[in-house]
Structure 1
Amino acid sequence: MDPETLRELLVWGITWAVLYVGFRYVLNSRKKRKLPPGPSGWPLVGSLPLLGPMPHVTLYNLAKKHGPILYLKLGTSAMVVASSPETAKAFLKTLDLNFSNRPGNAGATYLAYDSQDMVWAPYGPRWKMLRKVCNLHLLGGKALDDWQPVREAEMGHMLRLILQHSSRRSNPVVNIPEMLNLSMANMLGQIILSKRVFATEGAEANEFKDMVVELMTSAGLFNIGDFIPSLAWMDLQGIQRNMKKLHKRFDALLTRMIQEHQSSSHLRRSQDFLDIIMSHRENADGDGGRLTDVHIKSLLLNLFTAGTDTSSSIIEWAVAELIHNPEIAKRAQREMDTVIGRERKLKESDIANLPYLVAICKETFRKHPSTPLSLPRVADQDCLVDGYFIPKDTKLMVNVWGIGRDPDLWEKPLEFNPDRFLTPKGSKIDPRGNDFELIPFGAGRRICAGTRMGIKLVEYILGSLIHSFNWDLPPNQKQLNMDEAFGLALQKAVPFVATPSPRLALHVY
């Protein structure tokens, strides 16, 4: 063997030896590092079979056994679940940047235009640009103040429609989620598209609501293909097939919205939100770059689904709790009668003088958070939390529902008790992402973009429903079903209908 060949073999041998030793060192050092506790799981599938149909409840019970930082192997993936305010703060505030991205999954791929939207997009220039535009023109403080007249007008439509239902002799009931979905879609439609999306309740509005609920439900499912990628092509649960069908329906709806909006541009006197977003299609300047039609449709998908379903589910749960606890409803009405009277409707400016109403909203956020498990994030790098080693690429979820049910945090957590937010300590708790015992919209840089809007809508719409009507079960229903149905948004398992009766002077409506 000539010296040159021998030298090359020696170099390659040393290189592979160094790589082998380095690999073994990293592997052994990781083994020595302490992972958070959790269930051992099964071969291949890990803990996936343990989660069941109500994973937020399962994870809550596992946290009671293993502790507030829970580690699970789900197929070939690893996931850590934070189940206390302290651990949630560690992940979402202290290590916020390391967990600023979301893992890819079937929902992001097949529903959200392959992560081209604002919810699933990678943390970077385009995501920042979308957040900035939404805050400036739709979801930020000044923008919300600017479209306050739209909320007031649409609230008037809703109250008159409920009044019509209450006057029917044969069936004086209201389908609460359908009514809320109609109103919120129209509120958003007027700001985004300069039009009410649905002229009145009916088949088209109900179909839209069903599509939104289906999206939120399917996107919240634990899909086997997301955790065992080699099996994704088989679509064992049929989730991907259903997502593709639903995506086609949403894409057709959004395409029609954009086309109708463009054809009516000559009728608008001022720019609406879609006009502003569309202007970024031609403007490639700035950090965010040019937006495509896919980016625009995916953003509209975010706004019209999360913007209608999350707040409406909170209000639905709140009305159900008030029927279940009529003394709380009466106390809220007494407060409103003192502050507002019965000769006018509630205004948003009244809410600052209605602490019990605000406490009811906070208590609903606690007991029935719209998103029971936070949308997943993923670790960009290895990190340590409370002495536990969290490997790179570990997925993160925060059990918001579980934190709200923790008896170490909340006295009698299963009771619906707004008074807990009227104490000196409780009154200072804010659901906007800084007080980690109450984070219904998440926290950190990936907090829900519509946090301000969601809180404002819940307080205003729920307050208007309480002030304007008494609510009761339908005449043929003796008991209220309070069972949950899991999804990205926490739905009631049984569609909620209630009987309203007006309590204001009729000319007010």
Structure 2
Amino acid sequence: MEAMASSANLFFYAALLFLAVLYLAITRRRTSRLPPGPTGLPLVGSLPFIHPNLHVCFAGLAAKHGPIFSIRLGSKVEIVVTSPELAHEVLRDKDPVFSNRVIPEAGRAVSFDGVENIVGAPVGPKWRLLRRICAHEMLSPTGLDNLYGLRRREFRSTLSFLYSQAGEPVDIGAQMFVNMLNVVTSTLWGGTIGSESERAAVGKEFRGLIAKLTELLGSPNLSDFFPVLAPFDLQGIRRNMERIRVRFDKIFEKIIQQRVKGQQDGSKMATDFLECLLKTEKEGGDGKATFTMTDVKSLLMDMVVAGTETMSNTVEWAIAEMIQKPQVLRKVQEELDRVVGREAIVEESHLPQLHYLRMVIKETLRLHPALPLMVPHSPSVDSTIGGYHVPAGCRIFVNVWAIHRNPLVWNEPLEFNPDRFAGDAGRRWDFTGSQFDYFPFGSGRRICAGIAMADKMTAYSLAMLLQAFDWTLPPGTDLDLSEKFGVVMKKATPLVTIPKPRLSKPHLYYS
């Protein structure tokens, strides 16, 4: 009996050893098909070695491992692409496969009733409905033109405020954030949320909420790297995001109730984005996908969050780069003086004539794309990139920041030089996502829906600021152009500058 027991034990352990070897062989075979990359440590992978400026860290790893590499972060395998050719494969050639998203725990926590927003929704009838509403109602050229009066009002208000601060230090990024927020919310619901003091209070609260939301979205979250830990919410990110969602919900609920009450009272309502959303909600959708009041709130939050920091940060970067290169600042102002003069305020109608200003914006977005790693893509099925295996459900980072600094494409790539976009080069490198050595707004079906609005508002902001004021640093301060990675690309230190009026007559600042 003992001999039989020993034989049975021996067989059992032999079977275990065989299964272990077989598992390791299969795992190694699968791993070997992945792109090359850092080995990392057991369990945690490369998490301990990741630098906070993830786009720079990934660019360094690409220099070592090649234009496509895999990296294990906790229990997750991520793929990073850092070449125009591979970006083309992901975003164009295999767009139907790679067009979905992996929603981080923080993103799920801030969503209304678990409803996926336009950024995270999988490609399908609901995503197409959301995209069509945004593209046709709010972000189309006609829709933007119809709301020019609202934008003009907010820009003139900013102009007056800055004039009152002449000679004093101004945090230009913070001020432009408030300006963009007021423009976006006015575009969304016409600013009809009560008195000026109530609007100011809501604007201030929005700014705090958005700043916290984007900070949490950009924070490394153990719940994403180790999903088994998600129920414990060890860093409290989910709890904080849920609080933000509740506060947004209360603000939107109040705005919607005021609008619905006005409709019931027979008041004349503004033809703004909220009106279009409520009309679609009343119709229940488009026959292919439903559209509820939760979707109304979700889209409102998408537009508020996406349309503020991205544009205000671009304006801040552009002014910082021009302070560093005064000759560029002078050329922009000379162009504004030729086209508009100093006896009138620049209008959006002047923008098509401001060619050099457009070159400055393109160069700013080359060096400082709003989303340096874009929103990660995810294959719906197992696929390949560059001949390497890419498992379904993993995240694909396209490092547009590094691609825009490729020395094989760009002469002196680290230099701020708007002249590189002159003539035919300017026509080649546009915002359509057709060229994969320059695509600051992405490409393919997931290309940013708000390109027209971002282009118009960024150009209008810079034109107004540079026509109306000269900008200098406070005495004794140095310009810091270092970056801080997050959901959007930020300056590590805010740009504080002193405005000096340059228009011919004071009353122009209050017209």
Q: Same-fold call, TM > 0.5?
A: yes
Structure 1 residues 3-402: aligned runs within 5 Å: 31=30, 34-113=33-112, 114-166=114-166, 172-195=168-191, 199=196, 204-265=202-263, 266-284=266-284, 286-402=286-402
Distance 1:474 1:210, change over 3 A: farther
Give how far 1:32 is off.
8.7
C-alpha distance in 1, partners of 2:474/2:31? 61
What is the SS of the residue equivalent to 1:286?
A: coil
Encode CA deviations 1:428-449: one digit per residue, 9 max, x unaligned: 2002322222222221111122
Distance 1:188 1:260, change over 3 A: same
Letter in 2 for 1:191: T
C-alpha distance in 2, partners of 1:213/1:402? 26
Of the structure 1 ranges 420-429 and 28-37, higher mean CA displacement relative to structure 2 is found in: 28-37
Structure 1 residues 458-477: aligned runs within 5 Å: 458-475=458-475, 477=476
What is the SS of the residue equivalent to 1:442?
A: coil
C-alpha distance in 2, partners of 1:83/1:488? 18
Q: Is the 8 A contact 1:174 1:500 kept in 2?
A: yes
Give how far 1:426 is off.
4.4
Give how far 1:115 is off.
4.6
Encode CA deviations 1:318-366: one digit per residue, 9 max, x unaligned: 1111222222101111122122211112222322222211110011101
C-alpha distance in 1, partners of 2:65/2:32? 18
Give how far 1:412 is off.
2.0
Distance 1:104 1:138, change over 3 A: same
C-alpha distance in 1, partners of 2:140/2:67? 33
C-alpha distance in 2, partners of 1:44/1:156? 55
Q: Is the 8 A contact 1:377 1:397 kept in 2?
A: yes
C-alpha distance in 2, partners of 1:440/1:89? 14
What is the SS of the residue equivalent to 1:425?
A: helix
Letter in 2 for 1:310: T
What is the SS of the residue equivalent to 2:424?
A: coil
C-alpha distance in 1, partners of 2:499/2:31? 62
Structure 1 residues 410-429: aligned runs within 5 Å: 410-422=410-422, 424-429=424-429
Letter in 1 for 2:211: V
C-alpha distance in 2, partners of 1:32/1:65? 19
What is the SS of the residue equivalent to 1:104?
A: coil
Give how far 1:249 is off.
2.3
Letter in 1 for 2:191: K
> Percent identity over the alignment?
37
Give how far 1:219 is off.
0.9
Structure 2 gaps, min length 5: 1-18
C-alpha distance in 2, partners of 1:399/1:103? 17
Q: Is the 8 A contact 1:470 1:503 kept in 2?
A: yes
C-alpha distance in 1, partners of 2:219/2:422? 36
Of the structure 1 ranges 149-158 and 445-454, higher mean CA displacement relative to structure 2 is found in: 149-158
What is the SS of the residue equivalent to 2:176?
A: helix
Q: Is the 8 A contact 2:106 2:237 kept in 1?
A: no
C-alpha distance in 2, partners of 1:115/1:399? 28
Encode CA deviations 1:105-134: one digit per residue, 9 max, x unaligned: 212211123352111112111111111111
- TM normalised by structure 1 equals 0.88
Encode CA deviations 1:449-484: one digit per residue, 9 max, x unaligned: 212211111111112111111111124x42122222
What is the SS of the residue equivalent to 1:143?
A: helix
Distance 1:239 1:348, change over 3 A: same
C-alpha distance in 2, partners of 1:296/1:430? 32
Q: Is the 8 A contact 1:91 1:99 kept in 2?
A: yes
C-alpha distance in 2, partners of 1:125/1:164? 50
C-alpha distance in 2, partners of 1:91/1:285? 31
C-alpha distance in 1, partners of 2:192/2:364? 29
What is the SS of the residue equivalent to 1:187?
A: helix
Encode CA deviations 1:252-292: one digit per residue, 9 max, x unaligned: 22222222332333433443221221122232353443322
Aligned-pair Cα RMSD in Å:
2.4
Structure 1 gaps, min length 5: 1-19
Of the structure 1 ranges 225-234 and 417-426, higher mean CA displacement relative to structure 2 is found in: 417-426
C-alpha distance in 2, partners of 1:196/1:329? 37
Q: Is the 8 A contact 1:34 1:389 kept in 2?
A: yes
Match of 1:495 in 2: 494
Give how far 1:90 is off.
0.9
C-alpha distance in 2, partners of 1:112/1:497? 34
Letter in 1 for 2:238: Q
What is the SS of the residue equivalent to 1:73?
A: strand
C-alpha distance in 2, partners of 1:166/1:479? 20
Give how far 1:35 is off.
1.9
Instruction: Show structure 1 runs of 4+ deviating over 4 A.
Output: 26-30, 200-204
Distance 1:203 1:137, change over 3 A: closer
C-alpha distance in 1, partners of 2:86/2:268? 49
C-alpha distance in 1, partners of 2:58/2:190? 43
C-alpha distance in 2, partners of 1:350/1:364? 20
Distance 1:428 1:64, change over 3 A: same
C-alpha distance in 2, partners of 1:218/1:484? 18
Give how far 1:491 is off.
1.6
Distance 1:397 1:300, change over 3 A: same
C-alpha distance in 1, partners of 2:222/2:41? 14
